[in-house]
Structure 1
Amino acid sequence: MYPTDLTETQWQFIEKVLLPQERKRKHSLQQIWNALFYLVKTGCQWRMLPKEYPKWELVYYYYRKWSGMEEFDLLLGGLRDSVRLKLGQHTRPSLGIMDSQSVRWGNNRSLNGIDGK
């Protein structure tokens, strides 16, 4: 077990939102999610996944499949809502903040010639 592996509570939330009951599999979908979290957290290459996880090709297949699903957005929205509720806030924000930064484009000395002109 790696520190990046999902807890049972986390897995139940994901399973409820994304994964309806399907056929019996050789590798559990929880193992595949754990492999994806390992990849994201460690930044390792696909082909360098530890042997405890399914083969990288299978993990990559599910990554491509899940990342294009509309339900993935529902999962992220549900996670956001649960965090906001734990913080005692409404599930939908009532206010938004936009931040911007102005950059001055003056006379850049590095673009000048040797004589400074």
Structure 2
Amino acid sequence: MAYSSDLTDAEWEIFEPLLQEILPTKKQTRPTNWTKREIFNGILYQLKNGCNWQDLPKDLPPYSTVYWHYKQWRASGVFEELMSVLHGQVREQVKKKPHWTTLIIIDSQAVKNTCNASVE
């Protein structure tokens, strides 16, 4: 069953090469039962719906698997790197520099005392 948080085929085509490039290499001890797409869809489901990890639907990978991958990817900076790369691609599409821009606005305003302010 597909959920509204699942990646579409078109999104996965963009996302998969980036994920393969960014994910840390790990020693493969046994074949995995779940694809990276299923695991990532589990993470997206939990983040979108705000449910407990244990409440993931049964047609997604087990919550322990999804949560383990989430912790590993978060600790190794996978999500930040994905966001940075995808953000740069979007900026290039709209013909802007691919790196982040910074804008700082400082606004100060003088607040006048009202006539009800106590004087001590």
Q: Please give the range of the TM-score, normalised by the shorter of the 2 chains.
A: 0.7 to 0.9
User: Hey, what's the Cα distance between the residues in 1 that align with 2:106 and 2:55?
Assistant: 40
> Mapping of 1:27-46 within 5 angstroms?
27-46=34-53
Please tell me the residue identity of whatever aligns with 1:17. Answer: L
Counterpart CA distance in 1 for 2:96 and 2:6 is: 28
Identity level (%): 28
Query: TM-score of the superposition, structure 2-length normalised?
Result: 0.71
Q: Deviations over 1:5-62 (max 9, x none)?
A: 0112322333212326977421111111001001111101111001110110010110
- When residues 30 and 66 of structure 1 are mapped into structure 2, their CA distance, relative to the original with a 3 A threshold, is same
How is 1:41-60 mapped onto 2 (pairs within 5 angstroms)?
41-60=48-67
Query: Gaps spanning 5+ residues in structure 1: where?
Result: 105-116
Change (3 A) 1:69 1:30: same
Task: Determine the C-alpha separation between the residues in 1 that align with 2:107 and 2:59.
Answer: 46
- Structure 2: give runs of 5+ residues left out of the alignment: 111-119
SS of alignment partner, residue 58 of structure 1? helix
- Pairwise CA distance, 1:73: 3.0
Alpha-carbon distance in structure 2 between the residues aligned to 1:71 and 1:35: 16
CA distance in 1, matches of 2:107, 2:67: 38
**Residues 1:4 and 2:11 aligned together:** no
Q: Does 1:96 align with 2:97?
A: no
Query: CA offsets, 1:62-89, max 9 Å, x none?
Result: 0011111244433211110111122222
TM-score normalised by structure 1 residue count: 0.72
Distance in 1 (CA, whole Å) between partners of 2:76 and 2:11 is: 19
Aligned residue pairs, count: 108
Report the more deviating stretch, 73-82 or 32-41: 73-82
C-alpha root-mean-square deviation of aligned residues, in Å? 2.9
CA distance in 1, matches of 2:45, 2:108: 38
Find the aligned partners of 1:71 and 1:45 in 2 and give their Cα distance.
Answer: 22
**1:27–1:54: 8 Å Cα contact kept in structure 2?**
yes
